[in-house]
Amino acid sequence: MMSGGSYSTIDSQKISGSVPSVPDPGHTTVKFTESNLQTFPPSATQGKISGGSNPPRDADDTFSGHGNGSTDEPQSGGWLHKFTVGAYKPFFDVDTSDVVERLKESLFPFRGTFTEKTADKPDLYGPFWICTTLIFVAASIGTFVTYIAHKWKKQEWNYDINLVTWSAGVFYGYVTLVPLALYVVLKYFSAPSGLVQLFCLYGYSLFIFIPALCLSIVPVEIFRWVIAGVAGFMSATFVALNLKAHINSAGERSILIIASIFLLQLGLAVVLKLYLFTVTV
């Protein structure tokens, strides 16, 4: 028989023989692949928002203005397209900064760069806003000045609604008919210009008359003549200089056309002075 010490020695030898030693692995480096979530925006996107490193935009360009002209709306063919809202929508696709910059440009008529800056994107919103504001200002200030003049002389005063209709006819009619006539003339002399570009130019040329009408409150006749004359000269210079480079291609008749444009704009100032800047009691 073997003692207990022998059995323990044998068992320990068997155990030590059957279990191999495991070497110390030391420090193990774990590497993780870079996640796509660390890059924003993702390199490829799905849906309406197109990504990349550019700012997100709506892939639907229906209301994006000029762009590539893509739209989901059905387009009418031929001349019928001119009677749809979509045909004129790009000409109202301007923001406040665009309109303000163009208004500032109209106050510096000797630059002559308005046509160049608006050649790619003429608008009709500015001319419409200017004409509507002129109608409101002419009617309100004309009524106010007439009211004060009558009360000063203690005479009865009656409101004249014809002032509104007359102002609307003058401003809307001038900014529509004159550019249209000029468009035909320039086309006849082989110096055609865009019709919308002419609407835009003439519309912004009337902006100077808004502060001029406000200054007509001063009850001094000679001062009103000076204000009307300065406003008319600035407006006429603005139109003539912006069309000069284009009309020069008409040859010898270019001087005659430019002079006619200048004098016609001055004529508008005289008409406004006689009917809006003059107060009779």
Q: Give the pLDDT of residue 70.
A: 40
Query: 206: burial class by Cβ within 10 Å (0-12, 13-18, 19+)?
Result: buried
Q: Give the pLDDT of residue 208.
A: 94
- Among 206, 215, 237, 232, which Cα is nearest to 110's? 237
- Among 120, 70, 123, 128, which Cα is nearest to 94's? 123
Q: Give the pLDDT of residue 127.
A: 93
Write out the DSSP string of 4-58. HHHHHHHHHHHHHHHSPPPPP--------PPPGGGSSS-SS--SSEE-TTSPPEE
Q: Give the pLDDT of residue 165.
A: 86
In angstroms, the Cα distances linking 92 to 50, 68, 171, 208 are 26, 16, 19, 21
Q: Give the pLDDT of residue 107.
A: 93
The pLDDT averaged over each successive group of 10 residues in the chain (281 residues) is 47 48 53 45 40 36 37 52 70 87 92 87 92 90 77 73 84 93 87 87 94 86 91 94 81 83 92 74 49
- Among 244, 130, 216, which Cα is nearest to 176's? 130
Q: How far is CA 93 from its chain centroid?
A: 6
Q: What is the DSSP letter of 77?
A: P
Q: Which helix (H) or strand (E) holds 150?
A: helix 125-152
Residues 6+ apart with CB under 8 A from 230: 212
Q: Give the pLDDT of residue 156.
A: 75
User: pTM, whole model, 2 decimals?
Assistant: 0.68
Phi-psi region at 26: left, alpha or beta (left = phi > 0; alpha = psi -120 to 50): left
How many Cβ atoms sit within 10 Å of the Cβ of residue 83? 9
In angstroms, the Cα distances linking 49 to 35, 46, 57, 70, 217 are 22, 7, 6, 16, 54
Q: Give the pLDDT of residue 152.
A: 78
Q: How far is CA 106 from its chain centroid?
A: 14
How many Cβ atoms sit within 10 Å of the Cβ of residue 6? 10
- Structural tokens at position 239: 């139109």
Angle made by CA atoms 109, 110, 114, in degrees to the nearest 5: 55
Query: 213: burial class by Cβ within 10 Å (0-12, 13-18, 19+)?
Result: buried
Backbone angles phi, psi at 57, to 5 degrees: -145, 160
